Chain A
């Protein structure tokens, strides 16, 4: 019984990490119509930068800030320097982000080497607490908190703030919004940066749990894809539901059929795709 409870908690905490990862992908796609394949690199770079800062300062909060903000800057540079030159050329944008995915992955391999690394947990969440007869790490509970807080923040930001309203207005009608003096390019860059920051943060928060290693960029990109396909691309609520579904499926799959764990995610994805091609909670 407690084994099931542990797996359930594991699945939820991994799902929350996946939400952090996928929220940015779905935001940039839903609001800007950019499928950002560099999203995997953001996770990887966030993790590595966080690792370096954590090793140097021993401070997890600093590591999280440095990892996510540095990646945010990379995101801004990419969007301002390259992507917005291809305003309507969807394919051009996708190709650029695809190229950057390989460039960043290879540069990270060069800078940090090929050995898998883990980021030390923050001391406050190093311990574990008993669930029945088994111990459950506090850090995973911390992840659930981070994920839930991010979901609430994003919801409040989108629905409850003036900037959120400007974002929605810019997406619905860029010209009209310009007319009522919304700085649409700035808003778009902001959204893009927010997506990158979230992915960078996911890299740091995932560091103690799954580690950072070459190839992690492709793995998390794939998971983020499955999350947004299952949940419905472009919707935050969909990303949350999709992330939890994928997190649970992956965790239980690994526990009960380790050799075929990929099927645990992809078979349900294929079924959802056949039954509900737009995902569980498509953007209205």
Chain B
């Protein structure tokens, strides 16, 4: 099983590296979106799948980081490292404040609070016109200039740029969930009281996981802001939280790879369906119901349980 997985990973890597050479430009842009939303979905999976904290407001961290990087590049200066740091800093700050508030709640109250707090940020972005551009959004974010041999203004250049961040984020998140810290998170998910009796500081573990999830969601936000060249309140809206939540559930929570699949399916589906009809949100809503009724373990969970029957672990 281990070797099969290793070979699969290498093949996937080779495909990802060669994609822009074979795909038409339009589809390269689509794959960029897949990679960005995959980082976003995996960051939510850290919370949902590994800590057992399903957040309905994960758009908050994507959105503030996107605004942070966008505002810095447009209003202060197009310095990539500073914009990135400012965006990630804002995401971490938001996670640090929200974490204190939401980790006091459990279950449905946690869902309500995360949703409510993210909507507050949406409201601020919507109304604070001088800084965020309000309803119209913040246009004209230039792509980073890094003095690299590849130019980031075209899709191919930005694709490799995104791919580097995606791979780094994926490896880091994988290492985190496989670390002793990650295992204690899973322990907390399964039985909070026992872990607490064993001397684990449950709150601190959850808080750190919340910060990490906010950080990676923020990274996705920065990449998205540069990709679109534009940030709007939509990035902070419940619709965005709902989309990433569906990616995780559809792919299979607690697997990291599942949310990547989920992100790919949802981004491609939204793209195709939006070409035919304006009713994408209806379809997204129906998808929720369909997934819960027919595939509660997600695509990856479904594939894995069928594979287990054929390939012994």
A: residues with CB less than 8 A from B are 29, 35, 82, 85-86, 89-92, 94-96, 98-107, 110, 218, 222, 225-226, 228-229, 233, 259, 262-263, 266, 269-270, 273-274, 277
Does B308 lie at the interface of the complex (its beta carbon under 8 Å from any beta carbon of A)? no
B281 & A95 in contact (Cβ 8 Å cutoff)? no
Known contacts: A35-B111, A218-B238, A262-B123. The answer to whether A98 contacts B288 by CB under 8 A is yes
B119 & A222 in contact (Cβ 8 Å cutoff)? yes
Contacting residues, chain B, for A90 (C-beta < 8 A): 107-108
Q: Which of A85, A273, A274 has the most CB of B within 10 A?
A: A273
B288 & A96 in contact (Cβ 8 Å cutoff)? yes
> In the complex, how many angstroms separate the beta carbon of A74 from the nearest chain B beta carbon?
14
Complex-state Cα separation, A105 to B285, whole angstroms: 9
Chain B 85-114, CB within 8 Å of chain A: the 1/0 string?
A: 000000000000000110011011101110
> In the complex, how many angstroms separate the beta carbon of A115 from the nearest chain B beta carbon?
16
For window 47-63 of chain B, which residues contact chain A by CB distance below 8 Å? 54, 56
> In the complex, how many angstroms separate the beta carbon of A37 from the nearest chain B beta carbon?
8
B285 & A103 in contact (Cβ 8 Å cutoff)? yes
Does B212 lie at the interface of the complex (its beta carbon under 8 Å from any beta carbon of A)? no
Does B272 lie at the interface of the complex (its beta carbon under 8 Å from any beta carbon of A)? no
B279 & A273 in contact (Cβ 8 Å cutoff)? no
Does B146 lie at the interface of the complex (its beta carbon under 8 Å from any beta carbon of A)? no
| CB pairs A–B below 8 angstroms (22 shown) | A35-B108, A85-B293, A90-B107, A90-B108, A94-B108, A94-B111, A96-B289, A98-B56, A98-B288, A99-B284, A102-B281, A103-B281, A103-B286, A104-B285, A110-B279, A226-B116, A229-B112, A229-B113, A233-B112, A259-B127, A269-B116, A277-B105
Complex-state Cα separation, A225 to B114, whole angstroms: 11
Does B292 lie at the interface of the complex (its beta carbon under 8 Å from any beta carbon of A)? yes
> In the complex, how many angstroms separate the beta carbon of B74 from the nearest chain A beta carbon?
21
- Provide the main secondary structure of the chain A interface: helix
Chain B: interface size category: 35 or more
Complex-state Cα separation, A47 to B166, whole angstroms: 45
Does B282 lie at the interface of the complex (its beta carbon under 8 Å from any beta carbon of A)? yes
Instruction: Find the A residue at minimum CB distance from B48.
Output: A91
Chain B 266-309, CB within 8 Å of chain A: the 1/0 string?
A: 00000000000011111011111101110010000000000000
Does B128 lie at the interface of the complex (its beta carbon under 8 Å from any beta carbon of A)? yes
Complex-state Cα separation, A101 to B282, whole angstroms: 9
Does B220 lie at the interface of the complex (its beta carbon under 8 Å from any beta carbon of A)? no
B288 & A262 in contact (Cβ 8 Å cutoff)? no
Contacting residues, chain B, for A270 (C-beta < 8 A): 101
Chain B 30-44, CB within 8 Å of chain A: the 1/0 string?
A: 000000000000000
Instruction: Find the A residue at minimum CB distance from B118.
Output: A222
Our pick among B54, B101, B239 for the contact of A91 (Cβ within 8 Å) is B54
Complex-state Cα separation, A110 to B279, whole angstroms: 8
Complex-state Cα separation, A82 to B292, whole angstroms: 10
Contacts A102-B285, A273-B104 given; 18 further ones with Cβ under 8 A? A35-B111, A90-B107, A91-B54, A92-B292, A94-B108, A94-B111, A96-B292, A96-B293, A98-B56, A98-B242, A98-B245, A99-B285, A102-B288, A103-B281, A218-B119, A229-B112, A262-B124, A274-B104
Contacting residues, chain B, for A218 (C-beta < 8 A): 119, 238
B288 & A95 in contact (Cβ 8 Å cutoff)? yes
Complex-state Cα separation, A96 to B111, whole angstroms: 14
Chain B 234-268, CB within 8 Å of chain A: the 1/0 string?
A: 00001100100100010000000000000000000
Which 5 A-B pairs give the minimum distances between C-beta atoms?
A: A99-B288, A103-B285, A102-B285, A35-B108, A106-B281
Complex-state Cα separation, A263 to B117, whole angstroms: 11
Q: Which of B120, B128, B278 has the most CB of A within 10 A?
A: B120
Contacting residues, chain B, for A85 (C-beta < 8 A): 293
A259 & B279 in contact (Cβ 8 Å cutoff)? no
Does B211 lie at the interface of the complex (its beta carbon under 8 Å from any beta carbon of A)? no
